[in-house]
Amino acid sequence: METLEGAELCYPQLLNTSCRKPMQHRADNIFLYVFLSSMSLITVTLNLLVIISISHFRQLHNPTNLLLLSLAVSDFLVGLLLMPVQILFLGGCWFLGSILCGLFYYTSFILTSASVGNMVLISVDRYVAICDPLSYNTKVTNKRVKICICLCWMCSVFYNGVMLIDFLKHPDQYNSCYGECVVVMDFIKGAVDVSMTFVGPIAVIIVLYMRVFVAAVSQARAMRSHIAAVTLQGSVTITAKKSERKAARTLGIVVVVFLICFCPYFYPSFASQEMSTSLAFSIFGIWLLYCNSSVNPVVYAFFYPWFRKSIKLIVTLQILQPGSCDANIM
C-alpha cells in the first residue's frame, strides 16, 4: 500500500506532466504534522505575547522594546503564514498555483531578512546602551528607532524583490512538473544572499556583542572593586561574578542559536552549489531556519522580568481592566 501510495500523482488528470508523490510512511507523516503544527502554534503564541505586552503597557514603550516588538512581528508572521504553508510541502505536492508559489517564497525571504535585520538593530542598541550609556538617551530615541525599523522592513522588501525579480515574473520557471513549487538561485545571487543575510549580520552581531560583553565585564569589575573597598566585599564579589556569567551565557546563546538555525540553510552556497529550496532541502534547512522565530522570543524576551509579569496579566485577563495599560510591571 505504501509503495502504491508513493507512486500516486499530484494531478492524476495530467498523466505525463504531473509530479509524483514521494514515498511516504503514514506514521512518520502523522508525527511530522503534529510536531510542526505544534511548533507553528508555539511560535505564534510566544511572539503574540511579546506583541501584546509591548503594545499594551505604556511603560514598555522604549527604544529597546520597540526593536523587540518589530522582531516579534516578523517572527509572528513566520509562525502564522509561513509554517502552515510549509507543512503542505510534506505531502510532496503544491496545489495553490504558481502565483501563490511566488508570493510564498517572496514573503518567506522578506520575513527572514527582516528578522535578521531586527537582530542586528538590537545588537546595535545594546552596544550603545552599554558602551556609551551617558549619551544613549540622546542618540537612541523612539523616533529614530521607528525610522530604523521602517528602513529595515523597506530594505528587506526591496532587496528580496531584486533578488527574486525573475522568479516573480515566472514563478513556475524552475518547476519540472505540475505540483512543484521551487525557486533556484544561481551561484552569484546565492553568494550575495549569503553575504547580506548571514555572513554580514552574524559578523556585526558577534563584533558588537563581544564589545558589549567586554564593556559589561569591565564595568562590573570596576563597580565591584569600588564597592568592595568600602563594604560588603564578599556579597558584591559573588553578585558581580553571577552578572558576568549571565551576560556571557546570554550573548553566547544569541550567537549559537543564530548559527545553528541559519547554517544548514546557507550550506549549499558555502559548498559552491546552486541554492535550491526544493522539497528535499526545505524539510530540514527551512524548518530549522524557521525555528529561529520560535527561539527569538525566548532568548530576547524571557530574560526580561517585565515579560513574565506581563504574561500573568495577559493570561489572567487583567489587561482588560480600565487603566491596565499604565500598570507598573518594570
> 26-326 in CATH: which number?
1.20.1070.10
| Distance from C-alpha of 324 to C-alpha of 310, rounded to nearest angstrom | 11
Cβ neighbours for 149, distance < 8 A, ≥ 6 positions apart: 66, 67, 70, 118, 121
- The residue among 265 and 250 whose pLDDT is bigger is 265
- Confidence at residue 240, expressed as pLDDT on a 0 to 100 scale: 46
Which residue in 164, 165, 156, 159 sits closest to 110, CA to CA?
156
- Grid coordinates belonging to 101: 508559489
pTM of the model: 0.84
Q: Where does 230-304 have alpha helices with state H?
A: 233-270, 279-282, 285-301
pLDDT of residue 131: 84
Say if residue 174 is exposed, middle or buried (CB neighbours under 10 Å; 0-12, 13-18, 19+): middle
3-state secondary structure of 173: coil
- Cα separation, 64 vs 86, whole angstroms: 31
Distances (CA, A) of 47 to 78, 223, 241, 272: 10, 36, 32, 35
What number is the average pLDDT over the span 140-148?
94
pLDDT in tens, 220-252: 677 666 665 555 444 444 554 555 455 556 666
CB 293 within 8 A of CB 79: yes
Task: State the burial class of residue 77 (Cβ atoms within 10 Å of its Cβ: 0-12, 13-18, 19+).
Answer: buried
The pLDDT, as a whole number, for residue 270 is 57
DSSP H/E element including 185 = strand 184-185
pLDDT average, residue stretch 196-208: 88
Mean pLDDT of the chain: 81
Tell me the pLDDT tens digit for each residue of 125-142.
Answer: 888 888 888 888 999 999
Share of the chain above pLDDT 90, in %: 26
Instruction: Give the pLDDT of residue 73.
Output: 95
Whether the per-residue pLDDT at 25 is higher than 70: the answer is: no
7-11, 77-81, 192-196, 313-317: which range is least confident on average? 7-11
Would you call 205 helix, strand, or coil by DSSP?
A: helix
Look at residue 248 in the predicted model and tell me its pLDDT. Answer: 52
Which pairs from 21-24 meet CB under 8 Å and 24+ separation? 21/91, 21/92, 21/93, 22/92, 22/279, 24/91, 24/92
Cβ-proximal residues to 100 (8 Å cutoff; 6+ apart), any chain: none
Residue 53 has pLDDT above 50, yes or no: yes
Distance (Å, rounded) from C-alpha 105 to C-alpha 278? 11
Sorted by sequence, the CB contacts under 8 Å of residue 109 that are 6+ apart come out as 160, 163, 164
Domain segments of the chain as ranges: 26-326
Sorting pLDDT into bands at 50, 70 and 90, what band is 198?
A: confident
